[in-house]
Structure 1
Amino acid sequence: MGGAAPATRQRSAVLAQTLRGLDINDYILIGYSLGGRRGLYHSCHGQDPRLRALYVEGAHPGLADAPACRQRVQHDMGVGAALCRRPAGGGVGRLVPPADV
């Protein structure tokens, strides 16, 4: 995670600044996917003693090299394109089972 994108470092700093500005003295971060990745970065590098806990679901610390990053982007673009080609009513809703209400 040391090679985090500048946007990740910047968002960690903005988060700390925002919480200070709101006078929040302790907090828990909850992150999913990219939010989890940013939470991982913030908890490891943000150096904020007010952070009490981090809950993460479906996050990954990141890929180490440029070829792996390019391969992941190509894969994700392919998945996105496949979802866009689905007929109306057959998109993401078909991927997520309906909740029992």
Structure 2
Amino acid sequence: MTYLTSTHPASDVTVTISVQFKRQKRLGECIHLYNVLFKRIMKELQMSRHGRHHFNPKDAQVIPQYKLEVWPGCITAVDEYEGGIQLCFDASHRVLRKQSVKEFM
């Protein structure tokens, strides 16, 4: 058993964590862990989730002449390929209309 000690940056409380080795896993068995990890990272970056993709509303580019808004974002996917793990990280954009249905009609 391994003990790790650290202090909490906000409250200066000493925290001790004990880590016990159970068994070694293949990388392919940890895919869910990596997907959850990337989901939490995107949440910390304050990205908005639409479906399975994450977009950044703070960096939105407004196109006033067409009443559109373009949100930059990304798509992440972790999967097992050829005995290893592969991360697919694609840039993506979401185009939103700034006009409501009432205004459009």
- Quickly name the TM-score band, shorter chain normalised: under 0.3
With the length of structure 2 as denominator, give the TM-score of the two structures.
0.25
Q: Which has the larger radius of gyration?
A: 2
**Comparing both chains, which one has the higher relative contact order based on Cα–Cα distances under 8 Å and sequence gaps of 6 or more?**
1
More strand by share: 2
With the length of structure 1 as denominator, give the TM-score of the two structures.
0.26
More helix by share: 1
